[in-house]
Amino acid sequence: MTKLDHRVKGVDHAAFPTFDPAGTVRFYRDVLGFPVVHSICAVGWGPEDHPDFIHFFFDIGNDDRIAFFYYFGTEPFNTGRGDAYSAFGPDVPTYFIRSRHLAIHVDGYEDLMEYRRRLDDSAWPVEMQIQHETIESIYTHDPNGYMIEITRALRPVTPQEDLDANLTIDALLDVVAEPEPSLAKLLARKAELIVDRAPAWELARAGQEAGR
Amino acid sequence: MTTMYVLDVPENTHLAKVAAEDPAVTVGRIGPYFEITSDAAIVIDRRATGCRHAVWYSAIGGIARDSRITQHDKDALRVEPA
């Protein structure tokens, strides 16, 4: 496999529709303090019956942005469990609905707690604060029902975690190519990949360290 | 033979240490992984490791084909010959 050079520079913007622009501005600008950095006022045009709209952006740090579309004269298309973009029937489990979210990074515990204070003083208090494997996160839903996570690293990522992630993904590709993939099958395949590749990885890394 | 692999990262070091307290268990290394082996079952008590749940339920790097997990809950991890 040829090594492709990696040229991208993070998130330019992630865009979501809103039917509640007032709540959205309150949440992102007035509660969280994310500056408004760009907006487009556009007359509807094009082949479809496109409404006039406002496309507006908030700075989420690192020059990355979260953006919204507000379409004049439209009512929510979806009602029920879910968010402004999508809704789900009673047959869809909550863990699945909650799987899609945006996580915004902060540098440490103090910053995480600062955002926790801002949210807890608002109409959108923190719903959960969780220490995961290597990160700690707070969660809430914005006025559109989108799940927003703010997270900090509990420690720096170690080089061996990159190896482990790659072995996991290679094992995953192998097991999903076969019938009835399962975690047990993945862990069995990954054990083989560890035996095959982990010693060489460590030697190569030791060589790189020595060469510095 | 029972063999499991656990990545050597700070969250997992206690798990390997607790596993090694069983004289029947050997904790070696293969690359950046702990290779935990035994002729019989490997049993690790979660509370002894001090692992919080998120760490505990994602700690396993690999399970050799001749071995299988027979328990992995809030109390213990048990891996036995398949």
A84-106: pLDDT as tens digits: 999 999 999 999 999 999 999 99
Q: What is the mean pLDDT of each run of 10 residues along chain A (212 residues)?
A: 88 97 98 96 84 96 97 89 93 94 98 98 97 96 97 96 97 98 98 96 88 76
pLDDT at residue number A46: 77
Kindly determine whether residue A160 and residue B52, on different chains, have CB atoms separated by under 8 Å.
no
Of A184, A191, A202, the CB nearest to B5: A191
Distance CA A133, CA B16 (A): 16
CATH of the domain at A148: 3.10.180.10
Question: For residue A129, how many C-alpha atoms fall within 13 Å in the half-sphere facing its CB?
Answer: 11
Class of residue B6 by CB neighbours under 10 A (exposed 0-12, middle 13-18, buried 19+)? buried
Tens digit of pLDDT for each residue in B14-41? 999 999 999 999 999 999 999 999 999 9
> Does residue A80 share a domain with residue A167?
no
Residues of B in contact with A187 (CB under 8 A): 60-63, 69
What letter does residue A156 receive in the DSSP assignment? P
> Does residue A91 share a domain with residue A23?
yes
pLDDT at residue number A44: 87
Residue A34's domain comprises 13-153
pLDDT at residue number A47: 74
Residues of A in contact with B54 (CB under 8 A): 130-133
Helix (H) or strand (E) holding A97: helix A94-97
In a domain, A1, yes or no: no
pLDDT, mean over chain A:
95
> Does residue A109 share a domain with residue A73?
yes
Report whether A144 contacts A18 (CB < 8 A). yes
In a domain, A3, yes or no: no
pLDDT at residue number A2: 67
pLDDT at residue number B40: 95
Report whether A181 contacts A175 (CB < 8 A). yes
User: Which residues on chain B place their C-beta less than 8 Å from a C-beta of chain A?
Assistant: 3-5, 7-11, 30-33, 52, 54-55, 58, 60-65, 68-69
Q: Which of A160, A170, A172, A196 has the most B C-beta neighbours within 10 Å, making it the best mutation to test the interface with B?
A: A160
Q: Is the ipTM of this complex over 0.90?
A: yes
> Does residue A68 share a domain with residue A92?
yes
User: What total of structural domains would you count in chain A?
Assistant: 2
State which fold the B2-81 domain adopts: Phenol Hydroxylase P2 Protein (3.90.56)
pTM above 0.80, yes or no: yes
